[in-house]
Amino acid sequence: MAYVAIADRDHHLHDPTTFIEKYIWSQDHKVIAIQYGSVAIFAGLVALVLSLLMRLQIGFPDTFSWITPYSYYQFVTLHGMIMVIYLLTALFLGGFGNYLIPLMCGARDMVFPYMNMLSFWVYLLSVIILMASFFVPGGPTGAGWTLYPPQAVIEGSPGTDWGIILMLVSLAVFIVAFTMGGLNYVTTVLQARCRGMTLMRMPLSVWGIFVATILGLLAFPALLVAAIMMTLDRVVGTSFFMPALLSMGQASDHEGGSPVLFQHLFWFFGHPEVYIVALPAFGIVSDLLSTHARKNIFGYRMMVWAIVAIGALSFVVWAHHMYVSGMNPYFGFFFATTTLIIAVPTAIKVYNWVLTLWRGDIHFNLPMLWGTGFIFTFIHGGLTGLFLGNVTVDLPLSDTYFVIGHFHMVMGVSPVMVLFGAIYHWFPKITGKMANEVLGKIHFWMTFLGTYAIYLPMHYLGILGMPRRYYAYGQTDFIPGSAHQVNEAITIAAIFVATGQLIFLINVAYSLWKGKKADPNPWGATTLEWQTPDTPPVHGNWGPKLPVVYRWAYDYSVPGAKEDFIPQNHPTRPGEASVG
Amino acid sequence: MMTALAIALLLGVTVWWLLVQRLRDKPWTVHGVIPGSQEGLTSSAPKVGLWVFLGMVTSLFLIFAGAYVMRMDHGHSPLQEWQPVSEPSVLWINTVALVVASILMQIAHSRVARSDLEGTRRYFSAAGILTVVFLLGQLLAWRQLAAQGNYDHRNPAYSFFILLTAAHGLHLVGGLWVLGRTAARLWRGLNAASIVQVAAVRQSVALCTIYWHFLLLVWLGLFVLLMST
């Protein structure tokens, strides 16, 4: 492949001249990343408020008369959907994917910058459509975040007028946005890496985002198909998913549709979605731990293989979400087996993180705190996953708080730990200011201890048999009074954690305003984004010449080196084995 | 299940490709710039982007097909609401039109490679026109089905027929939009002496050709699926 320095091709760099081109209709991946990130965090705050409303109802039933069963289910649904798709997916891929891929690969921008810009605006449109459902007659859908038919469509469920239609349309629009972004991420990784940056020299953050994007491109179509078919069922009256029903003595206009088909489609997307969120988190946390332990990542090659293996396996485990839906027992056996197999590469990653820390020169600054916090929460969430992966254990636990505790630990708290670690880690590069350490530590401990106080007791409630999705429990024999007290405590912990997030927002605002000016490479990191000539990097990232990469991303504490890190673009030293 | 296997296969190909890309490197042992390593932005980025997109579209139609088969199995249960449609014969003509469009596109591709702009214009536009003929034929098929009057929206076979042909048609419409833009450049204002402009058109025609062949394959798959039930 002929090497043509992009610096020689000035037509690729449309330098923005006006304010609007620079900050609004921007084609610069860094601006788009910040746009994506801000909208995603805003959506996440809405979902956070919804979760508090739910907790208020569960912790103190009969106290808030304005929380009705109807609105409770709407909170449940929107909380789940926003957190999983519009916050986590958008922030990891649209936010960090956009920011990190070109910088870490040594590119000037994404390969299709115009499409990248469209991706953000279409994403914003999907968020607006979703938020609009709060203001339409009947309110947003209350079908549960999995939107199972028939109750998502039939009268009697909350939000079947407009809410469900807006939800499905918003999802379809989101998928369009994701496709435009995803094509960029994959193609940029494949085509726009700088000289010397082989695939096996890429930082694990890029690997995680890259494989997660491929998963998204293959899995989101399943959600799109499900959304289109359900919209048709709702609007035109087709019978893809909707069975014949008698509702209040009236026969519905549907015949013989298959609700289980929807579940297959939803989870065929839904399970890879777990890894669309988890793989970028795995990749990013590897870089955080390695950088702040001043030690190369343990088993880099195994880490890459594990990411790829987890990605591939994530397509053959989906029906473990459907053990209670009724299926051929052999299927249950198959999916339980694949589910347990996926624990192998995942466990390899966990061991490697711990071994990276082993005898490292650990600096307990903010990114490291969040990174180690992630190891704890992920191990806890992962272990309860082994329980639920087994059919016989899952059946009694499936509809209880055990499942809530499990998935919030593994795909709620854990990725969020990494997100905050990543924000604190890259904050100096993105803004040019250091984030305030004291506020960040308060934020960490409130979040870490608070989320344990929320989700650990939920496992006990689940084993006790406390059903999930209930608006109120009343007085029953199998739920003792102490369980109600636990629920109150959980609600108080939830308010505590939410307050912690306010401290994060204050920290961001304060550090932007009064933070210490950041060095170009305050952590002494090896990867390319810390070697840019300007901080924050300007349009085009690299000045007149692209970087050239001479080594992998993890040359920390190399014996004989002057400093405890050697940047990737640092030429070969005398005595190092080299090629070319 | 079949869909899952097909997607696993797709992933398998990706993994194999990655392995070929020296996933067995030990990056910590070797320093310096490895010869033949990825370098800079190359002109084939749009082509790679297109293939990635086609991977996604493949997944979309495989999942559609999977849903079709699963719904059909379900529909053959006691309720018998799955009433197969008798496909209008115009579908055969449409298929021929799309095959010929694909062949014409291939010829246009070989013409543009030889910088024969006149020939490219002719074959490229003809391919576009035949594609429009295909789409109109599909609309006619819808009308003929509706005119038979035996089907209503509750029959999933009928709903699926409309849904699948519409999904395929929309992808072709997207292709036609790109084709139209390329044709506009071919007809107007193309400076045959400008290497950059000719190279850009050559690339657009090449990408269209890949896309048309791909959508032909998708249609043949869908046609077989629809006819076999």
Beta bridge partners of A416: none
Q: What percent of chain A has pLDDT over 90?
A: 84
| H or E stretch covering A247 | strand A246-247
| H or E stretch covering A87 | none
How far away is chain B from the Cα of A28, in angstroms, using its nearest Cα? 16
**Length of chain A as a residue count:** 580
Residue listed under structure tokens 């999802």: A171
Distance of CA A190 to the CA centre of its chain: 23
Residue of chain B minimizing CA distance to A579:
B32
Please answer yes or no on whether A198 and B27 come within 8 Å at the CB atom. Answer: yes
**Residues of chain A found within 8 Å of residue B30, distances taken between Cβ atoms:** 577-579
| H or E stretch covering A373 | helix A366-389
How far away is chain A from the Cα of B160, in angstroms, using its nearest Cα? 9
Residue of chain B minimizing CA distance to A264:
B67
Q: How confident is the model at residue A504 (pLDDT cuts 50, 70, 90)?
A: very high
For residues A292-314, one letter each, b for 16 or more C-beta atoms within 10 angstroms of the residue's C-beta and e for the rest, the string is: bbbbbbbbbebbbbbbbbbbbbb
How far away is chain B from the Cα of A199, in angstroms, using its nearest Cα? 7
Instruction: Give the number of other Cβ atoms within 10 Å of residue A471's Cβ.
Output: 16
Nearest to A297 by CA among A345, A348, A356: A356
Per-residue confidence in pLDDT tens, chain B, 229 aa: 556 666 767 776 776 666 666 666 788 877 887 665 555 445 588 999 999 999 999 999 999 999 999 998 876 666 667 888 888 899 999 999 999 999 999 999 999 988 888 899 999 999 999 999 999 999 999 999 988 877 777 888 999 999 999 999 999 999 999 999 999 988 876 777 777 888 888 999 999 999 999 999 999 999 999 998 7
**Which string of DSSP letters, residue by residue, matches A480-543?**
-HHHHHHHHHHHHHHHHHHHHHHHHHHHHHHHHHHPPBPPSSTT---SGGGG-SSSS--TTSST
**Dihedral class, residue A138 (left if φ above 0, else alpha if ψ from -120 to 50, else beta):** left
Please answer yes or no on whether B81 and A316 come within 8 Å at the CB atom. Answer: no
The CA distance from A565 to B70, in Å, is 56
Residues 6+ apart with CB under 8 A from A273: A84, A85, A89, A216, A219
According to the model, what pLDDT value does residue A11 have? Answer: 46
pLDDT digits (tens, 9 = 90+) for A166-203: 999 999 999 999 999 999 999 999 999 999 998 899 99
Please answer yes or no on whether B67 and A225 come within 8 Å at the CB atom. Answer: yes
pTM score, whole prediction: 0.94
Residue listed under structure tokens 């910058």: A113
According to the model, what pLDDT value does residue A1 have? Answer: 34
Please answer yes or no on whether B74 and A258 come within 8 Å at the CB atom. Answer: yes
Residue listed under structure tokens 């070797």: B30
Please answer yes or no on whether A296 and B28 come within 8 Å at the CB atom. Answer: yes
Q: What angle in degrees, to the nearest 10, is found between the helix axes of A343-357 and A366-389?
A: 150
**Residues of chain A found within 8 Å of residue B39, distances taken between Cβ atoms:** 1, 3, 193-195
- pLDDT of residue A293 exceeding 80, the answer is yes
Residues 6+ apart with CB under 8 A from A529: A100, A103, A104, A426, A429, A537
Sign of CA dihedral A72, A75, A81, A83: negative
Beta bridge partners of A250: A247
The CA distance from A160 to A140, in Å, is 8
| Mutation for A interface: B42, B54, B56, B170, most A CBs within 10 A | B56
Sign of CA dihedral A40, A46, A52, A55: negative
Are residues A497 and A446 in contact, defined by beta-carbon separation less than 8 angstroms?
A: yes
According to the model, what pLDDT value does residue A2 have? Answer: 34
Angle, CA B158 vertex, CA B157 and CA B164 arms, to 5°: 85
Please answer yes or no on whether B41 and A191 come within 8 Å at the CB atom. Answer: yes
What ipTM did this prediction achieve? 0.92
**Residues of chain B found within 8 Å of residue A183, distances taken between Cβ atoms:** 49, 52-53
- Among A212-226, A454-468, B4-18, B185-199, whose mean pLDDT is lowest? B4-18
pLDDT digits (tens, 9 = 90+) for A3-40: 344 434 444 556 777 888 788 899 999 999 999 999 99
The CA distance from A46 to A44, in Å, is 5
The CA distance from A517 to A88, in Å, is 29
* Three-state SS at B105: helix
Structure tokens at A91: 């922030």
* Three-state SS at A244: coil
Please answer yes or no on whether A198 and B22 come within 8 Å at the CB atom. Answer: yes
**Residues of chain B found within 8 Å of residue A192, distances taken between Cβ atoms:** 40-41, 45
Are residues B148 and B86 in contact, defined by beta-carbon separation less than 8 angstroms?
A: yes
Angle, CA B187 vertex, CA B183 and CA B192 arms, to 5°: 110
